[in-house]
Amino acid sequence: MRYFVAKDSIVREIWGKSDTVLFIFAGAAAEFALNKAVDWLYFTGKLPADPLGRLFSTVGYAHKIILSPEDDALKAIDVLRKIHGTVEQNRGAVIPDWAYRDVLFLLVHYSIAAYELLERKLSATEKEEVYHVFYRVGDRMGLKGLPNSYTAWLPVRALHLDENLEKSHHTANLCKQYKKHLGAIRFEVLMQSQKLLVPDRVKKLLQLDGLALLSPAIPLYKASRRVGLDHIFKNLLLPSAYKAQIKALDVQTNTKKCPWKF
């Protein structure tokens, strides 16, 4: 059976581990709040009503596409585009192409950033592989203006960060909703996680100042995975109501473990 992403791909290893996906989730939460097109997510009312569920749905959809057989993945991408088309019809406007690209770009960035935080540095070839997978997703969705390589993407990503992010009343409201649904302690853990992952532009806009207090905990977390206690740390990031969804993100992959992994 042919898969959308080859079974020995680094991308399947990245997205086949719940802890990596949760850190992708954490970084995405920051950029979602700053994106100038976040009003589209407010249009349906689903984002402010259930910000964790909405973000989990977005990340979960990417998880499904990456790990599915090719035919199923392509169908899922087509459904995703159709859903957004329905929203556009209901609002009587078109979601700007750059907004779609922004979501795609943040998935590329945090896939790399989260894996490098928890595992090891990726090679240039592996980063290219990550980008190429999401390029294929965007191409299937009919997005225009996608750079054709990872190296060509880097300056475009930087430009998107400068032009398409802003701190708005939606940002303040969404952060308030994150805190409400997570609770004060988990919200603080979320922000500390974001400090380890987000670009400087995002840190500046969200005022994520100071040292990341979670930095000393990362080696401890890596050690906890060896003795099966990593679930404790995972529960710190998201409420227990998401326990089943978090567990479902763990997938067996055929990717060889790196001998220099902690």
What is the tens place of the pLDDT at every residue in 8-43?
Answer: 999 999 998 888 888 898 898 899 889 888 776 666
pLDDT at position 60 is 74
- Compute, in degrees rounded to 10, the torsion defined by CA atoms 177, 19, 59, 197: 70
Average pLDDT of 167-193?
88
Average pLDDT of 158-175?
92
| Residue 134 near residue 108, CB atoms below 8 Å | yes
pLDDT at position 125 is 97
Residue 218 has a CB neighbour count (10 Å cut-off) of 16
Indicate the domain borders of the chain: 10-248
Least confident of 58-62, 146-150, 205-209, 219-223: 58-62
Average pLDDT of 91-110?
88
Least confident of 58-62, 82-86, 183-187: 58-62
pLDDT at position 123 is 98
Task: Work out the pLDDT band at 252, boundaries 50, 70, 90.
Answer: very low
pLDDT over 60 at 214, yes or no: yes
Question: DSSP assignment, residue 45?
Answer: S
Average pLDDT of 215-219?
85
Please report, rounded to a whole number, the percentage of residues in the chain having pLDDT higher than 70: 84
Average pLDDT of 181-185?
86
pLDDT at position 260 is 25
pTM of the model: 0.86
Those residues whose C-beta lies under 8 Å from the C-beta of residue 145, and which sit 6 or more positions away, are 97, 98, 101
The one-letter amino acid code at 135 reads Y
Task: Work out the pLDDT band at 47, boundaries 50, 70, 90.
Answer: low
Task: Work out the pLDDT band at 256, boundaries 50, 70, 90.
Answer: very low
Least confident of 15-19, 98-102, 131-135, 230-234: 230-234
pLDDT at position 107 is 92
Tally of residues, the chain = 262
Q: pLDDT averaged over the chain? A: 84
Least confident of 65-69, 129-133, 191-195, 214-218: 214-218
CA distances from 228 to 43, 186, 256 (A): 42, 21, 20
| Better-predicted residue by pLDDT, 4 or 219 | 4
Angle of the 217-226 helix axis to the 230-237 helix axis, nearest 10: 130
